[in-house]
Protein backbone atom coordinates (compact mmCIF):
# COMPACT_ATOMS: atom_id res chain seq x y z
CA UNK A 1 0.00 0.00 0.00
CA UNK A 2 1.13 3.49 -0.78
CA UNK A 3 0.19 6.39 1.46
CA UNK A 4 0.44 9.94 0.21
CA UNK A 5 1.05 12.50 2.88
CA UNK A 6 -1.44 15.33 2.87
CA UNK A 7 0.30 18.67 2.75
CA UNK A 8 -0.76 20.90 5.61
CA UNK A 9 -1.85 24.34 4.53
CA UNK A 10 -0.72 27.52 6.19
CA UNK A 11 -3.31 30.15 7.03
CA UNK A 12 -2.09 32.25 4.09
CA UNK A 13 -2.44 29.29 1.70
CA UNK A 14 -5.95 28.71 3.03
CA UNK A 15 -6.92 32.32 2.27
CA UNK A 16 -5.67 31.93 -1.31
CA UNK A 17 -7.10 28.42 -1.86
CA UNK A 18 -9.51 27.99 -4.77
CA UNK A 19 -10.46 24.56 -6.06
CA UNK A 20 -12.78 25.98 -8.72
CA UNK A 21 -15.94 24.89 -6.89
CA UNK A 22 -18.43 26.72 -4.69
CA UNK A 23 -17.37 24.59 -1.68
CA UNK A 24 -16.58 26.58 1.44
CA UNK A 25 -13.91 25.23 3.76
CA UNK A 26 -12.75 25.66 7.31
CA UNK A 27 -9.07 25.20 8.10
CA UNK A 28 -8.58 22.71 10.92
CA UNK A 29 -5.01 21.88 11.93
CA UNK A 30 -3.79 22.71 8.44
CA UNK A 31 -6.39 20.59 6.63
CA UNK A 32 -9.39 21.73 4.65
CA UNK A 33 -12.75 20.62 6.02
CA UNK A 34 -15.68 21.22 3.66
CA UNK A 35 -18.69 22.90 5.20
CA UNK A 36 -22.08 21.47 4.36
CA UNK A 37 -24.68 23.81 2.98
CA UNK A 38 -26.88 25.10 5.79
CA UNK A 39 -30.54 24.19 6.05
CA UNK A 40 -33.17 26.85 5.41
CA UNK A 41 -34.02 26.80 9.16
CA UNK A 42 -30.37 27.51 9.90
CA UNK A 43 -30.30 30.41 7.41
CA UNK A 44 -33.56 31.93 8.69
CA UNK A 45 -32.34 31.84 12.30
CA UNK A 46 -28.94 33.31 11.39
CA UNK A 47 -30.57 36.03 9.31
CA UNK A 48 -32.99 36.93 12.12
CA UNK A 49 -30.17 37.23 14.65
CA UNK A 50 -28.10 39.32 12.26
CA UNK A 51 -31.04 41.67 11.65
CA UNK A 52 -31.75 42.05 15.36
CA UNK A 53 -28.10 42.71 16.24
CA UNK A 54 -27.78 45.13 13.30
CA UNK A 55 -30.84 47.02 14.53
CA UNK A 56 -29.35 47.27 18.02
CA UNK A 57 -26.01 48.49 16.60
CA UNK A 58 -27.84 51.17 14.59
CA UNK A 59 -30.09 52.14 17.51
CA UNK A 60 -27.04 52.70 19.73
CA UNK A 61 -24.96 54.30 16.91
CA UNK A 62 -22.09 51.91 17.60
CA UNK A 63 -19.08 51.73 15.23
CA UNK A 64 -19.65 47.98 14.85
CA UNK A 65 -20.70 45.61 12.07
CA UNK A 66 -22.67 42.39 12.22
CA UNK A 67 -21.72 39.89 9.50
CA UNK A 68 -22.92 36.44 8.50
CA UNK A 69 -20.88 33.50 7.24
CA UNK A 70 -17.53 35.25 7.55
CA UNK A 71 -14.39 33.68 8.94
CA UNK A 72 -12.33 34.04 12.06
CA UNK A 73 -8.75 32.87 12.44
CA UNK A 74 -8.67 30.64 15.50
CA UNK A 75 -5.06 29.46 15.43
CA UNK A 76 -1.83 29.05 13.50
CA UNK A 77 -3.39 26.64 10.97
CA UNK A 78 -7.02 27.13 11.92
CA UNK A 79 -9.89 29.22 10.63
CA UNK A 80 -13.63 28.80 11.23
CA UNK A 81 -16.64 30.09 9.35
CA UNK A 82 -19.08 31.62 11.80
CA UNK A 83 -22.83 31.94 11.36
CA UNK A 84 -22.88 35.50 12.72
CA UNK A 85 -20.29 37.72 14.34
CA UNK A 86 -19.86 41.30 15.48
CA UNK A 87 -16.69 43.28 14.76
CA UNK A 88 -15.61 46.84 15.43
CA UNK A 89 -14.94 49.19 12.53
CA UNK A 90 -11.27 49.23 13.59
CA UNK A 91 -11.05 45.48 13.00
CA UNK A 92 -12.15 45.89 9.39
CA UNK A 93 -10.23 49.03 8.39
CA UNK A 94 -7.46 48.13 5.97
CA UNK A 95 -9.03 44.75 5.16
CA UNK A 96 -11.89 45.78 2.85
CA UNK A 97 -10.39 44.10 -0.22
CA UNK A 98 -9.16 41.00 1.62
CA UNK A 99 -10.90 37.72 2.37
CA UNK A 100 -13.57 38.17 5.04
CA UNK A 101 -11.59 36.39 7.73
CA UNK A 102 -11.05 38.35 10.91
CA UNK A 103 -7.66 37.79 12.51
CA UNK A 104 -8.55 39.35 15.86
CA UNK A 105 -11.26 38.36 18.34
CA UNK A 106 -14.81 39.39 17.38
CA UNK A 107 -16.90 40.99 20.13
CA UNK A 108 -19.53 38.27 19.79
CA UNK A 109 -19.90 35.06 17.78
CA UNK A 110 -23.14 33.18 17.15
CA UNK A 111 -23.27 29.58 15.92
CA UNK A 112 -26.54 27.87 14.95
CA UNK A 113 -26.49 24.13 15.57
CA UNK A 114 -27.40 21.75 12.75
CA UNK A 115 -27.51 17.96 13.01
CA UNK A 116 -24.02 17.72 11.47
CA UNK A 117 -22.48 20.50 13.60
CA UNK A 118 -23.37 19.55 17.19
CA UNK A 119 -19.88 18.41 18.21
CA UNK A 120 -18.18 21.17 16.22
CA UNK A 121 -20.32 23.99 17.73
CA UNK A 122 -20.41 22.76 21.33
CA UNK A 123 -16.89 21.40 21.63
CA UNK A 124 -14.37 22.33 18.94
CA UNK A 125 -15.43 25.90 18.29
CA UNK A 126 -15.96 26.51 21.99
CA UNK A 127 -12.34 25.60 22.77
CA UNK A 128 -10.99 27.55 19.79
CA UNK A 129 -13.05 30.64 20.66
CA UNK A 130 -11.90 30.33 24.27
CA UNK A 131 -8.28 30.32 23.09
CA UNK A 132 -9.01 33.65 21.37
CA UNK A 133 -10.81 34.90 24.49
CA UNK A 134 -13.84 35.91 22.43
CA UNK A 135 -15.89 37.82 25.01
CA UNK A 136 -19.28 36.33 24.11
CA UNK A 137 -20.30 33.18 22.23
CA UNK A 138 -23.90 32.10 21.58
CA UNK A 139 -24.83 28.55 20.66
CA UNK A 140 -28.34 28.62 19.21
CA UNK A 141 -29.67 25.07 19.26
CA UNK A 142 -32.99 24.53 17.46
CA UNK A 143 -32.56 20.77 17.98
CA UNK A 144 -32.76 21.22 21.77
CA UNK A 145 -34.84 24.45 21.72
CA UNK A 146 -32.31 26.48 23.68
CA UNK A 147 -29.71 29.22 23.43
CA UNK A 148 -26.49 28.89 25.43
CA UNK A 149 -24.65 32.15 26.06
CA UNK A 150 -21.01 31.78 27.03
CA UNK A 151 -19.35 34.82 28.61
CA UNK A 152 -15.57 35.04 28.93
CA UNK A 153 -14.71 35.59 32.57
CA UNK A 154 -11.38 35.09 34.37
CA UNK A 155 -9.95 32.72 31.76
CA UNK A 156 -13.05 30.54 31.28
CA UNK A 157 -16.45 30.64 29.67
CA UNK A 158 -19.36 30.89 32.07
CA UNK A 159 -22.43 29.37 30.42
CA UNK A 160 -26.06 30.37 30.89
CA UNK A 161 -28.79 28.43 29.08
CA UNK A 162 -31.98 30.20 28.02
CA UNK A 163 -35.21 28.48 26.91
CA UNK A 164 -38.78 29.30 25.96
CA UNK A 165 -39.89 32.86 26.64
CA UNK A 166 -36.68 33.79 28.49
CA UNK A 167 -34.88 36.85 27.19
CA UNK A 168 -31.36 36.21 25.98
CA UNK A 169 -28.94 38.12 28.21
CA UNK A 170 -25.97 39.61 26.43
CA UNK A 171 -23.06 41.55 27.89
CA UNK A 172 -22.29 42.96 24.43
CA UNK A 173 -25.91 44.09 23.91
CA UNK A 174 -27.31 44.58 27.45
CA UNK A 175 -30.52 46.26 26.22
CA UNK A 176 -31.32 43.66 23.55
CA UNK A 177 -34.93 42.49 23.71
CA UNK A 178 -34.84 39.00 22.18
CA UNK A 179 -36.29 35.74 23.47
CA UNK A 180 -35.41 32.17 22.62
CA UNK A 181 -38.94 31.70 21.23
CA UNK A 182 -38.41 34.62 18.82
CA UNK A 183 -35.10 33.23 17.61
CA UNK A 184 -36.44 29.71 17.09
CA UNK A 185 -39.68 30.95 15.48
CA UNK A 186 -37.55 32.62 12.79
CA UNK A 187 -36.53 29.12 11.73
CA UNK A 188 -40.17 28.30 11.08
CA UNK A 189 -40.57 31.19 8.60
CA UNK A 190 -42.54 33.25 11.12
Q: Find the DSSP H helices in 30-179.
A: 40-59, 89-92, 118-119, 125-132
Give residue 56's pLDDT. Answer: 98
pLDDT tens string for the chain (190 positions)? 333 346 899 999 999 999 999 899 999 999 999 998 888 999 999 999 999 999 999 999 999 999 998 999 999 999 999 999 999 999 998 888 888 999 999 999 999 999 888 898 999 999 999 999 999 999 999 999 999 999 999 999 999 999 999 999 999 999 999 999 999 999 997 5
Q: Which phi and psi angles does 131 have, rounded to 5°?
A: -60, -30
* Predicted pLDDT at 123: 92
State how far the alpha carbon of 177 is from the alpha carbons of 24, 51, 181, in Å: 33, 13, 12
| Contacts with 68 (C-beta within 8 Å, 6 or more apart), sequence order | 46, 47, 50, 83, 84
* β-bridge mates for residue 162, sequence order: 147
Architecture, CATH, for domain 21-186 = Alpha-Beta Complex (3.90)
Distance CA 40, CA 38 (A): 7
pLDDT in the model for residue 26: 92
Task: Please count the residues of the chain.
Answer: 190
In the chain, what are the domain boundaries?
21-186
Amino acid sequence: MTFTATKLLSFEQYLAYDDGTETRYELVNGQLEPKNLPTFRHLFISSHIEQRLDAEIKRLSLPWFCLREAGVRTGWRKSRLTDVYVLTADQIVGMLDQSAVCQTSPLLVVEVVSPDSVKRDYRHKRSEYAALEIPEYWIVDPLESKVSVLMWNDGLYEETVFVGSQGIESRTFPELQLTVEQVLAAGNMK
